[in-house]
Structure 1
Amino acid sequence: MSTPTKFDDEKQQPVPAYGDNSPADSDTEGFAVLIAEDHRNEIKLRTMSWQKAAWLLVGDQVCLAIMAQSWSLSVLGWVPGIITMVVAGILFWITSITMHKFIMKHPSIRDICDFGYYIFGESRIAYEFTGFMLLANNILLIGFHVLTGAKVLNTLSDHSLCTVVFSIIVMLMGIVMSVPRTLKHVSFMSMFSAACMGIAILLFLIFSGIEKAPLYGYNGDYPTDGLVKTYAFPLPGTTFIANMNAVLNITFLWVPQILFPTFIAEMERPQDFPKALAVLAAVSCFLFIVPPAIGFRYLGQYATAPAFGSLGVVAYKKASFAFVIVPTLVIGVIYANVSAKFVYFRIMGSSRHAHSNTVIGWGMWILVMVGIWALAFVFSEVVPSMGDFLSLLSAAFDSFFGFIYFAIAYWQLYKGKLFAGASRSVMTVVHVFIMLCGLFLLGPGLYAAVEAIIADYSGATRPAFSCANLAI
């Protein structure tokens, strides 16, 4: 962990009003020192513009999980589903701004672990606990993307090879793409990732609109479950477990903040992060709601996760799903980069190899990256249902990284002045609600995720390192 930088005048700085972006709101002197120090290194990390940060954010968020939201609507119905999406989006913006404000007060923060260290009063235990959650969350997510890549290749090739072989191919491609050390270079890949996912979504919407009927849903082939229909509220018989997992599926999409401190730490002007965030919020508000709503309109109760699987014409399914391979790899690379940096700097510390083009430095970087992707590959092969485990991740980790941590950060920013004025009082109440949301996900949400996994294990499960066809 980086050594906290102290400044003599830090305590004299006034606590700004929420939403105020005045220069007093950020420790610009502290960032200037860190940026100048970084730029003396051979490998410069703090070089990313807010435009490149925006591409990085969009590339991370425009992902396959968007195509699972139609299924969430099919479980929750229009009213609870859309309300959940809108509320999740609003809370995403508020918590992200709170995170940025806290980081601007503590310039030495360079990842979510440093963030946890400071919000819990410079606690080493909090740092190590957050580090464990960071690695567990990211490696399982990379594993999910390895499995998704194997599904894409299975679908396109009509299962021409063993699924394990496809997974190995995806892992090796991920390792090669993960070699760049700086997120500035990864953001270049994110442009193509977002474009490819956008094409996949557009093709899906066109195909779902022009085909006569969906192929199948979780209750059988069309029209086993009747004609396609949509509904305002959950259908009779929908269980709490199903509803909760649909909610977790939505919150999982809206909670990427585990990566944000690392992104901010590599910006040349960290104070510009809200600009990049605004771009992400605009893109997300459209893509996270409109395509899933259109998908639910045409697929109804036959919606699957991802929705590509419900398309009735095989050629349509292949044509749209093919573009998913690019975001699958690039998003895996983003999570691998953040994870590798945490491990790498723990190993290399402040040695010259950490920021220089030395054989030892690059050798260790590649070794760490190979280890992360290899471990993710193992998880992708031994976990019987990655979808259920993503619900578990959402409940166990997103409850902290999407809600609880930022409610605590807000309290640390404004303690003693939580109700100083009407606007501050409103935001304090909002952050109390954010804390309650996090605790709800951690309690009932975690229970629902575990119950879903138990139900999966009680039936037929995919064997470890199976060659079975995983085509959608």
Structure 2
Amino acid sequence: MSGREGDINRSSFIEAGEGSLEKVETETIVDVFGNEEEHEIKYKTLSWQVSVTHTAYLSQLVSALMIAEIVSTGLLTLPNAVAIVGIVPSLILTIFLGIFALYTAKLLVDFKMNHPEVHNMGDAGYILFGPVGREIFAAGSIIFAIFGVGALILSGQQALSTLSNNGLCATVLLVIFAIATFLLALPRTFSRLSWLALVSAVTIALCGVLAMIGAGANPVPNRIIQAALPSNFYEAFLAITGPVCLMFFVLISEMRRPQDAMKAAWVLQGFSTTFYAVFSVVVYVYIGSSVAAPALFSLPPVWAKISFAFGMVNFLITGALYTHFAAKLLFVRLFRKTRHIHSHTVLGWSTWVFLCFASVAIAFILASAVPIFSYLTGITASLFASWYTYGVAGFFWLHDTFYLKGGLGAIRRRWFGTTLAVLTVLAGAFMCVVGTYVSIKLIADAYSQGLVGKPFTC
């Protein structure tokens, strides 16, 4: 395993002596962007919070980027999840998954600090499982990101259709939203997108607040509200499927102080878990068991339009973030340790623009030409996101404890951490297998019920 190679390199620093440490370290374990003082394009400019200083303000807020990624279209389906399992199980699951995600975030941050050269899940896969692991983890990240772009431009098309009273063909609206997503994704660094992410976080919060106000002002008569509901396994699993933080390593790589990443994770989970719980319960209480997914379709037209108007901003910016992420993975893979990363070269910029365009174009084709696209998104989430958010974090802990803390003896001594790590791996495997089964069953049910539409339809 390549983790052994990392230990060999680290021991060679000590044996080589202090004079050669800097040279060896620069070539092997330095972070992906290295020393940026002399470079034209600087990536490591993000901070976990907005500071009052001008410099830090320009390098603001990795927390907003995380919130913009996580708190998006998934939020609007949560009231429907409450309608499936009931208020109490939904709240328990929401809080548990929030705490679990915070724990796995800690494992990811620790792994990144131990391996500063890791830029994305592909690099992490190489450390864990060698070249094969790199290709699988990298491909999974890109595939999931592109499907995420497709899902978000579809949500944007729904918002535009609602606002325009279906005044234009859905495919035309999809094209408009895709073009806007591509243009917003073009800045080369996440710091250039961080202020947009702050706008995105604010607008999705406003979308949720307005939806709650709209539901409260227009409660459904004779609605059915249940504290707990008997649900079959299939329905319950659909309800608990949650969002993922795919960009964790990439965002930490662009922080000025990666050691502050856990602070951003606390902000993310504190905000998202609280907002999920409040939004899902409030909307469900006023609309009841008939609440749609997305929940905005259960509101009166005026409130739906107002809420969609704010939500659409989040869909657009989050789609741009996913586009940027997919392009960044390929761009760094192509030009790592070359001048095209940090300089304004024709090759670098033309490649970057092409990668952003290709990401959106592929997402657009999939979203408009594949009738079962939304179901395939569920499969990609099950195959990759379940591991990236949960399961693989357990492997990170086991790997670093074994290679950096003292082998099997360290694994045995840290029995509590080992138990949690193993359970985390098993949780990821469970979500992957069961989620894939559920997604395939959804596709079969959709075809049997005649719910599958046609490509490029208005």
- TM superposition score category, shorter chain reference: 0.7 to 0.9
* Maintained 8 Å contact 2:107/2:393: yes
* Maintained 8 Å contact 1:109/1:261: yes
Aligned residue in 2 for 1:80: 89
Question: Offset of 1:189 from its aligned partner?
Answer: 0.4
Aligned residue in 2 for 1:281: 269
Provide closer, same or farther for how the CA distance between residues 11 and 310 of structure 1 changes in structure 2, counting only shifts above 3 A: farther
* Maintained 8 Å contact 2:30/2:117: no
Provide closer, same or farther for how the CA distance between residues 373 and 11 of structure 1 changes in structure 2, counting only shifts above 3 A: farther
Counterpart Cα distance in 2 of 1:28 and 1:81 = 49
Provide closer, same or farther for how the CA distance between residues 35 and 376 of structure 1 changes in structure 2, counting only shifts above 3 A: closer
Please point out which of 438, 451, 454 is paired with 1:460.
451
Question: Offset of 1:390 from its aligned partner?
Answer: 3.4
Q: Percent identity?
A: 27
Question: Offset of 1:372 from its aligned partner?
Answer: 0.6
Aligned residue in 2 for 1:194: 201
TM-score (ref. length: structure 2): 0.88
- Give unmatched runs, 5+ long, in structure 1: 13-26, 214-222, 468-472
Aligned residue in 2 for 1:49: 47
Q: How does 1:3-402 map to 2 (within 5 A)?
A: 6-8=9-11, 37-51=35-49, 52-120=61-129, 123-213=130-220, 227-235=222-230, 238-248=231-241, 251=242, 253=243, 255-256=244-245, 258-311=246-299, 313-402=300-389
Counterpart Cα distance in 1 of 2:419 and 2:11 = 33
* Maintained 8 Å contact 1:308/1:320: yes
Instruction: Establish whether residue 429 from structure 1 lines up as the match of residue 424 from structure 2.
Output: no
Provide closer, same or farther for how the CA distance between residues 271 and 143 of structure 1 changes in structure 2, counting only shifts above 3 A: same
Please point out which of 409, 420, 428 is paired with 1:438.
428
Deviates more, 1:428-437 or 1:199-208: 428-437
Counterpart Cα distance in 2 of 1:212 and 1:69 = 18
> In structure 2, the residue corresponding to 1:38 is in which secondary structure?
coil
* Maintained 8 Å contact 1:95/1:403: yes
Question: Offset of 1:394 from its aligned partner?
Answer: 2.7
Counterpart Cα distance in 2 of 1:134 and 1:36 = 23
Question: Offset of 1:404 from its aligned partner?
Answer: 1.8
Counterpart Cα distance in 2 of 1:310 and 1:34 = 47
Letter of the structure 2 residue corresponding to residue 76 of structure 1: V
> In structure 1, the residue corresponding to 2:186 is in which secondary structure?
coil
Question: Offset of 1:335 from its aligned partner?
Answer: 1.1
Question: Offset of 1:349 from its aligned partner?
Answer: 4.1
Letter of the structure 2 residue corresponding to residue 79 of structure 1: V
Letter of the structure 2 residue corresponding to residue 135 of structure 1: I
Question: Offset of 1:234 from its aligned partner?
Answer: 2.5
Counterpart Cα distance in 1 of 2:149 and 2:88 = 33
Counterpart Cα distance in 1 of 2:44 and 2:62 = 11
Counterpart Cα distance in 2 of 1:70 and 1:385 = 23
Question: Offset of 1:199 from its aligned partner?
Answer: 1.0
* Maintained 8 Å contact 2:145/2:323: yes
Question: Offset of 1:212 from its aligned partner?
Answer: 3.8
Letter of the structure 1 residue corresponding to residue 183 of structure 2: V
Counterpart Cα distance in 2 of 1:161 and 1:35 = 45
* Maintained 8 Å contact 1:30/1:107: no
Question: Offset of 1:344 from its aligned partner?
Answer: 1.6
Counterpart Cα distance in 2 of 1:137 and 1:430 = 26
> In structure 2, the residue corresponding to 1:110 is in which secondary structure?
coil
Letter of the structure 1 residue corresponding to residue 226 of structure 2: Y
* Maintained 8 Å contact 1:404/1:438: yes
Can you list the C-alpha shifts for 1:118-174, whole angstroms capped at 9, x where unaligned?
Answer: 122xx0000001111111100001000111111110000011111111011011101
Counterpart Cα distance in 1 of 2:415 and 2:262 = 22
Can you list the C-alpha shifts for 1:89-124, whole angstroms capped at 9, x where unaligned?
Answer: 11101111001101111110111111111122xx00
- Give unmatched runs, 5+ long, in structure 2: 16-24, 50-60, 403-407
* Maintained 8 Å contact 2:383/2:432: yes
* Maintained 8 Å contact 1:75/1:242: yes
* Maintained 8 Å contact 1:75/1:246: yes
* Maintained 8 Å contact 2:126/2:134: yes
Provide closer, same or farther for how the CA distance between residues 28 and 323 of structure 1 changes in structure 2, counting only shifts above 3 A: farther
Can you list the C-alpha shifts for 1:387-417, whole angstroms capped at 9, x where unaligned?
Answer: 4333323321122112221111111122332
Question: Offset of 1:300 from its aligned partner?
Answer: 1.7
TM-score (ref. length: structure 1): 0.85
Question: Offset of 1:71 from its aligned partner?
Answer: 0.7
* Maintained 8 Å contact 1:146/1:167: yes
Compute the RMSD of aligned alpha carbons.
Answer: 2.4
Counterpart Cα distance in 2 of 1:4 and 1:177 = 38
